[in-house]
Amino acid sequence: IEYLDSLTIGVTLNDTAGVTFNWQLISGAMGLVSDSTYSFGITPEDGVQYEFTATNSNGCSVDSIVIVSVTKLRRANAPTGFTPNGDGVNDYFFIQGGDKVEEVTLFRVYDRWGILVFEGNKLEINVAEQGWDGVYRGQPATSGTYTWYSDVLFKDGHTEQLKGNIILLR
């Protein structure tokens, strides 16, 4: 599921006369299905699996498993360039993201030789001043391409590792 608030799960049977049926939760945290219909609505936070079993009056059974996968929208990223020239525009390199981000637990920037030029821990998302200002050892870093790495913690407890390159322009 992506971009959905709810989903309807249902079955269609060729013959429903004298049929008994049962929905059973196999995995996930949606609880028991108490709806006595052939379809029901769910709003899963995580993936779930249900098994549907139907038995006709002759004792013949059929079953099917419904697997619902959930893709969570976790938005966090960084720009590909910045200009730390003190003009108040694009002066910091920082991690940006949506409201589902708890914090940037680790943020590192390396020069082309692999030397660590910036490190931040437990940073707030979207706060420019907590990012790299383009300074290394008290001096403006040279223009060029730098490599970055970040661990981003989301409010649901998931940590995502992000990495890429940034171009510093002076």
* Percentage of the residues of the chain whose pLDDT score is greater than 70: 92
Q: How is residue 112 annotated by DSSP?
A: T
Condensed to tens digits (0 to 9), the pLDDT of residues 52-110 reads 888 988 898 989 898 888 877 889 999 999 999 999 999 999 999 999 999 999 999 99
The mean per-residue pLDDT over the stretch 108-135 comes to 97
Helices of type H across the chain: none
Three-class secondary structure of residue 33 per DSSP: coil
User: How many Cβ atoms sit within 10 Å of the Cβ of residue 142?
Assistant: 12
Q: What is the pTM of this model?
A: 0.68
Question: Where do the DSSP E strands lie in the chain?
Answer: 7-10, 20-27, 39-42, 48-55, 61-68, 76-77, 81-82, 96-97, 101-110, 116-123, 135-136, 139-140, 144-154, 159-168
Three-class secondary structure of residue 139 per DSSP: strand
Q: Pick the closest to residue 10 from 60, 54, 70 (CA basis).
A: 54
pLDDT greater than 90 at residue 27? no
The whole-number pLDDT of residue 108 equals: 98
